[in-house]
Amino acid sequence: MDRTQFLLALSVALFALGLVGVIIRRNALVMLMCMELMVNGVILSLVTFAARTATASGAVLALLVFVVAAAEIAIAIPIVLLLVRQRQTLDVGAYARLKG
Amino acid sequence: MESVLLYAFSAAALTGALLVLIARHPMRVALALIATMLSLACIYALLGVHVIAVFQVLIYVGAVMVFMVFVIMLLDTRDPSFVNRYSRLLVPGVLVATLLAAGLGHALARHYVAGPVSTSPADFRLQPFSAGFLREYWLHFELTSVLLIAAVVAAVAVIQGRGGRDG
């Protein structure tokens, strides 16, 4: 197993752990942080490929993903604040009004 | 030496990711996530991609996670989600993610082509990187500024968009 393969396996592991967290945790903020973990796994794979091919494109793409993640957090946290203001809880199980 | 550091930081990143799943209080989750991100930044630096390592620390740890920590302190109430960490989807969620990881790992083990690994980190020093960035990818750079402005406007609109009826 060479270095690239090892780092890709690490990024798969981080992505899967983040997915587990998004599915199983109840706290809305913790779910957001698990999404950040998934984004970090993807960025690790981008940087790994950029370092393997020694092209700047992968690093530029990683930089753009940073910006998208920052924008995502900037819009997701006000939504969580708004939800907490309505129901006074961070438990996503309480937000089941759309359930049929 | 370098590969020992690589394995050590990878182990640290994985430990932090596991703690993100296990820790009860959101503040501990945030600290574990910060540890994971710092370990990843060290891995990027070991790979020679210093620009991304710096931005990982500046943007993720310095901006996103500090924002997150402030929000956690703002919302620090006794919440039922602190007591019951996991929802009813615990078993199916773990199963789905295990399947996904097994599929991706199988593809990685089976179809991975061990190509020549380039060891010229010259492209990733700040000066050639930023020159290439702003010459070739200037349009994307400008588009990210539009995206950030849209996100800021949307955040303000989400908080105040209901005519200020609820404060």
For residue range A20-46, list pLDDT tens digits in order: 999 998 888 999 999 999 999 999 999
- Per the structure, the complete domain to which residue B135 belongs is given by 126-167
One domain for residues B73 and B5: yes
Give the pLDDT band of residue B132 (cuts 50, 70, 90).
Answer: confident
Determine, yes or no, domain membership for B37. Answer: yes
Give the Cβ contact number of residue B8 at 10 Å: 13
Per-residue pLDDT, A89:
81
Q: Does residue B111 have a pLDDT over 60?
A: yes
Structural domains of chain B, count:
2
Determine, yes or no, domain membership for B51. Answer: yes
One domain for residues B145 and B65: no
Closest CA to A31 of B156, B33, B157: B33
Closest CA to A80 of A90, A71, A70: A90
Give the pLDDT band of residue B5 (cuts 50, 70, 90).
Answer: very high
| Residue A14 near residue B17 (C-beta atoms within 8 A) | yes
User: Which runs of E-coded beta strand occur in chain A?
Assistant: none
One domain for residues B83 and B1: yes
Q: Does residue B167 have a pLDDT over 50?
A: no
Determine, yes or no, domain membership for B106. Answer: no
One domain for residues B138 and B56: no
One domain for residues B75 and B23: yes
Average pLDDT over residues B101-110: 88
Residues of chain B with pLDDT > 70, as a percent, come to 89
One domain for residues B134 and B77: no
| Residue B79 near residue A89 (C-beta atoms within 8 A) | yes
Q: Does residue B131 have a pLDDT over 90?
A: no
A85-89's contacts with Cβ under 8 Å and 24+ in sequence apart are A85/B166, A85/B167, A88/B77, A89/B79, A89/B80, A89/B81
Chain A residues close to B29, C-beta within 8 Å: 29-30, 33
One domain for residues B79 and B5: yes
Q: Does residue B121 have a pLDDT over 60?
A: no
Q: What is d(CA A16, CA A44) in angstroms, rounded to the nearest whole number?
A: 13
Q: What is d(CA B53, CA B42) in angstroms, rounded to the nearest whole number?
A: 7
**Alpha-carbon distances of B90 from B59, B76, B135, rounded to whole Å:** 32, 25, 48
Shortest CA distance from B134: residue in chain A: A60
Among residues B68, B87, B106, which one ends one of the domains?
A: B87
Average pLDDT over residues B57-78: 87
| Residue A47 near residue A58 (C-beta atoms within 8 A) | yes
Determine, yes or no, domain membership for B98. Answer: no
One domain for residues B83 and B133: no
Higher pLDDT pick, B32 / A83: B32
Which B positions 99-138 lie with beta carbon below 8 A of chain A? 100-101, 104-105, 108, 112, 114-115, 117-121, 123-124, 128-129, 132-133, 136-137
One domain for residues B58 and B131: no
Per-residue pLDDT, B127:
79
One domain for residues B5 and B79: yes
Per-residue pLDDT, B118:
61
Structure tokens at A79: 């939504």
One domain for residues B1 and B80: yes
Determine, yes or no, domain membership for B107. Answer: no
Determine, yes or no, domain membership for B113. Answer: no
Q: What global pTM score does this model have? A: 0.89
One domain for residues B23 and B73: yes
Per-residue pLDDT, B120:
59
Per-residue pLDDT, A71:
92
Determine, yes or no, domain membership for B18. Answer: yes
| Residue A98 near residue B87 (C-beta atoms within 8 A) | no
Higher pLDDT pick, B18 / A100: B18
Per-residue pLDDT, B162:
64
Give the position of tokens 């590969």.
B3
Average pLDDT over residues A61-71: 90
Which letter, b or e, does each residue of B79-104 get, where b requires 16 or more Cβ atoms within 10 Å of its Cβ? bebbeebebebeeebbeebeeebeeb
Interface contact A71-B117, CB threshold 8 A: no
